[in-house]
Amino acid sequence: MKKTKWLISPVVLWLSLFLILPMAIVVVISFLGRDEFGNLVIQFSLDNYARFFDSLYLGIYWDTIALSVLTTLICVLISYPLAYYIANAGPTRQKIWLLFITVPFWINFLIRTYAWVLLLRSQGVVNSFLMDIGIIDEPLKMLYTKGAVLLGMVYTFIPYMVLPIYVSLEQMDRKLLEAASDLGASRWRAFWHITLPQTKSGMMTGSVLVFVSTAGMYVVTDILGGSKSTMLSNIIQTQFLGARDWPFGAALSVIFAITSLVLIYLFNMALRSRHERSKEGRA
Amino acid sequence: MPMIQLMNIEKHFAGQTVVHPLSLTIREGEFLTLLGPSGCGKTTILRMIAGFEQPTVGEIFLDGKDVTELPANKRDLNLVFQHYALFPHMTVEQNIQFGLKMKKIDAAEQKERIGEAIRLTQLTPLAKRYPHQLSGGQQQRVAIARAIANKPRVLLLDEPLGALDLQLRKNLQAELKQLQRSLGITFVYVTHDQEEAMMMSDRIVIMNNGKIEQIGTPKEIYNRPQTLFAATFIGENNVFHEAERMFAIRPEKLKAVRDREQKAKRKGIIQDIVYLGNVHKLMVHLNDEQTTVSICLDFTDEDEWQIGQHIGVDWFDADEVNIGL
Ligand SMILES: Nc1ncnc2c1ncn2[C@@H]1O[C@H](COP(=O)(O)OP(=O)(O)OP(=O)(O)O)[C@@H](O)[C@H]1O
Ligand SMILES: [Mg+2]
């Protein structure tokens, strides 16, 4: 009786339908085979995983991790000062800034990304401008480089970092800074010893969001990176849509999901201070 | 020897005067309490002394030096915040250590001072805990330990017991007073609880609407209130108006006179009789004045009082305390 009740609870239903079930299907497919027309063949094989250890795929795998980590780092470095500024600005200014940060969400993502193409290409806005004022004679190659992809990723995901950091700054008890000052801390030391540790959770949330989103993003790479900067998500996309090799695509997905979980776990451990763990122990 | 001097300080917030011009001298080693109703400016004065607010007008001297422009982190005093403001990500020990670290005190002395502060506030078994693992009373001790470890010249306390229940308050009041005696530090204490102020203070500053009503020892303030506010804010009091003057008489100084023929200063009807164990009180409505006075009688009073009874109310002239407005 109790058991059936538990099974039909909406949360469980929702989770199984939209999260667990698709994941399970992906895991199952990753162990299957396929025939030459791309149809699934029911069998158990580890071939799909074995194929991953080809140097081509391993290289792309590391590139993807490196790009995602770099994107996350740059986002933290830009977002923290920005969020700090917003959180300490007057109420009207805060509203305006938050609006600025959320406005891009209202505009189609593809359009925003293509706008970068217009800016970065050889005859684009940036090159024309630089040549007009005589800083360069030949157009710089900016589009279809790793740098362009990085720029696109940072641009796309910065709001995911700014907002959680802003929220954690807002939630911090300002009296703590007065207490620090009362105990002899300069503003900088109060920031370092109090504000920064108190806003770790915001940085953590933002970092997970940015990292996972970057690793899973293939549109930015497609549009700004050209053919040379392929990411794991591009390969996965190709396997499912182009090459019709679902089992291999599924295996890559599983590998990347596990990698993300491990990285997020490590990151969590590194950032989390002892007191937060002790809090959990108590709860 | 003055420890803190407020010279004609005044504070405005957005054009509104929150603290009217006032001067106050706080002596070295004394326990001085700012007492007054909510919103009268107690916290504002404390924050000006601590350096979190600048007086709009006037100067503040700490130990003979003008500190009006000095930022909070450079002032040799500490504030115990109303809600403690403990650092949630630090243990009790680390919280106490923070101020010592900021002042770059060497490790050996840090350890010694932390140990002493923890011992004085009886926190020894809790040293490794985080603030969220402590009860309200324990957090309050940590806040005090964190402050006294710095060996400040002055400790400012903003309603430090405000969030605690009555029993704990009573215990900690006694402990705090004891601590102040043994450390010999100047305490500036803020409360709106008059009993607390009476019990702990060497001197009390009674405040109302951003102004000082009276400064004095608890005894002076109880026996010789100078203003109507001071007379009625501390303890129970009866205020009488007479042609050109106003005076107050404590309930225990009034006498109930049974015999109607006997000469008494006022006449009235008993409205209510309240027994409070060792004393009882008569609430008497006066005939000629539209007020009710309270008369406090002790156990030696043997009379049988009845509600509705007509009596006389009398007192000695010497017990009249003249008050200005
Ligand atoms: N930063 C501020 N801006 C504007 N007004 C303020 C500010 N701080 C205090 N006030 C006003 O100053 C007055 C005195 O405030 P204060 O906090 O000093 O009162 P208090 O005596 O400590 O009261 P309580 O017992 O309730 O703590 C109040 O009317 C309050 O609204
Ligand atoms: Mg206050």
Query: What is the three-class DSSP state of B271?
Result: strand
The domain tally of chain A equals: 1
Report the pLDDT value the prediction gives residue A3, as an integer from 0 to 100: 55
Residue found under tokens 């800016």:
A119
Q: Name, in order, each residue with C-beta under 8 angstroms of B51's C-beta and a sequence gap of 6 or more.
A: A181, B67, B70, B71, B72, B73, B74, B75
Query: What is the three-class DSSP state of B268?
Result: strand
**For residue B22, what pLDDT band results from cuts at 50, 70 and 90?**
very high
Calpha distance B291→A105 (Å, rounded)? 70
| Residue A29 in domain | no
ipTM entry: 0.85
| Residue A84 in domain | yes
B89 to A175: CB separation less than 8 angstroms, yes or no: no
| Residue A27 in domain | no
Report the pLDDT value the prediction gives residue A171, as an integer from 0 to 100: 94
| Residue A91 in domain | yes
List the single residue in B85, B86, B146 with the smallest CB-CB distance to A178.
B85
Instruction: Sheet containing B154-158: give its strands across.
Output: B77-80, B154-158, B186-191, B31-35, B203-208, B211-216
**For residue B304, what pLDDT band results from cuts at 50, 70 and 90?**
confident
Does the pLDDT of residue B20 top 60, yes or no? yes
Residue B313, sorted as left (phi over 0), alpha (psi -120 to 50) or beta, turns out to be beta
List the single residue in B72, B74, B83 with the smallest CB-CB distance to A175.
B83
Q: Are A252 and A52 in contact (CB under 8 A)?
A: yes
User: How close A187 comes to chain B (CA, Å)?
Assistant: 9
Read off the CATH number of the domain in which A167 is found: 1.10.3720.10
Calpha distance A264→A270 (Å, rounded)? 10
Report the pLDDT value the prediction gives residue A89, as an integer from 0 to 100: 94
Token digits of residue A165: 């950091």
The closest residue, in CA terms, to atom 28 on ligand 1 is B39
| Residue A94 in domain | yes
pLDDT digits (tens, 9 = 90+) for A108-123: 888 988 888 888 888 8
Q: Name, in order, each residue with C-beta under 8 angstroms of B245's C-beta and a sequence gap of 6 or more.
A: B322
For residues A73-98, give the mean pLDDT: 96
Token digits of residue B128: 């490794």
Report the pLDDT value the prediction gives residue A5, as an integer from 0 to 100: 60
Report the pLDDT value the prediction gives residue B162, as an integer from 0 to 100: 84
The closest residue, in CA terms, to atom 16 on ligand 1 is B41
Q: Are B312 and B262 in contact (CB under 8 A)?
A: yes
| Residue A5 in domain | no
First to last CA, chain A: 29
Report the pLDDT value the prediction gives residue B3, as an integer from 0 to 100: 95
Q: Name, in order, each residue with C-beta under 8 angstroms of B237's C-beta and a sequence gap of 6 or more.
A: B225, B231, B248, B249, B250, B251
What is the CA(B15)–ligand 1 centre distance, in A?
A: 14
List the single residue in A182, A184, A275 with the smallest CB-CB distance to B88.
A275
For residues A126-150, give the mean pLDDT: 87
Report the pLDDT value the prediction gives residue A4, as an integer from 0 to 100: 58
> DSSP code of A122?
T
Would you call B151 an interface residue with chain A, using a CB distance cutoff of 8 Å? no
**For residue B245, what pLDDT band results from cuts at 50, 70 and 90?**
confident
**For residue A228, what pLDDT band results from cuts at 50, 70 and 90?**
confident
| Residue A129 in domain | yes
Report the pLDDT value the prediction gives residue A128, as an integer from 0 to 100: 87
The closest residue, in CA terms, to atom 29 on ligand 1 is B39
For residues A229-236, give the mean pLDDT: 86
- Ligand showing the shortest atom-to-Cα distance for residue B53: 1
Report the pLDDT value the prediction gives residue A8, as an integer from 0 to 100: 63
Report the pLDDT value the prediction gives residue A11, as an integer from 0 to 100: 77
Report the pLDDT value the prediction gives residue B135, as an integer from 0 to 100: 93
State chain B's mean pLDDT as an integer.
92
For residues B10-20, give the mean pLDDT: 95
| Residue A60 in domain | yes
| Ligand 1 site residues, Cβ closer than 6 angstroms | B 13-14, 18, 36, 38-44, 192
Q: Which residue of B has its CA nearest to A184?
A: B73
For residues B209-226, give the mean pLDDT: 95
For residues B103-121, give the mean pLDDT: 94
pLDDT digits (tens, 9 = 90+) for A171-211: 999 999 999 999 999 999 999 999 999 999 899 999 999 99
pTM comes to 0.84
B217 vs A220, which has greater pLDDT? Answer: B217
Range of the domain at A237: 51-282
Calpha distance A206→A210 (Å, rounded)? 6
For residues B199-223, give the mean pLDDT: 95
Does the pLDDT of residue A281 top 60, yes or no? no
Share of chain A above pLDDT 70, in %: 93
Does the pLDDT of residue A278 top 60, yes or no? no
pLDDT digits (tens, 9 = 90+) for B44-93: 999 999 999 999 999 999 999 999 999 999 999 999 998 899 999 999 99
User: How close A186 comes to chain B (CA, Å)?
Assistant: 7
For residues A152-163, give the mean pLDDT: 94
A163 vs A272, which has greater pLDDT? Answer: A163
User: How close B157 comes to chain A (CA, Å)?
Assistant: 12
- Residues of A in Cβ contact (< 8 Å) with B95: none
User: How close A70 comes to chain B (CA, Å)?
Assistant: 28
A181 to B71: CB separation less than 8 angstroms, yes or no: yes
The closest residue, in CA terms, to atom 12 on ligand 1 is B18
pLDDT digits (tens, 9 = 90+) for B158-186: 999 887 888 888 888 998 999 999 999 99
Report the pLDDT value the prediction gives residue A1, as an integer from 0 to 100: 46
List the single residue in A182, A184, A275 with the smallest CB-CB distance to B50.
A182
Ligand 1: atom nearest CA of B45 is 18
For residues A214-232, give the mean pLDDT: 85
For residues A260-267, give the mean pLDDT: 87
Does the pLDDT of residue A125 top 90, yes or no? no
B226 vs A39, which has greater pLDDT? Answer: B226
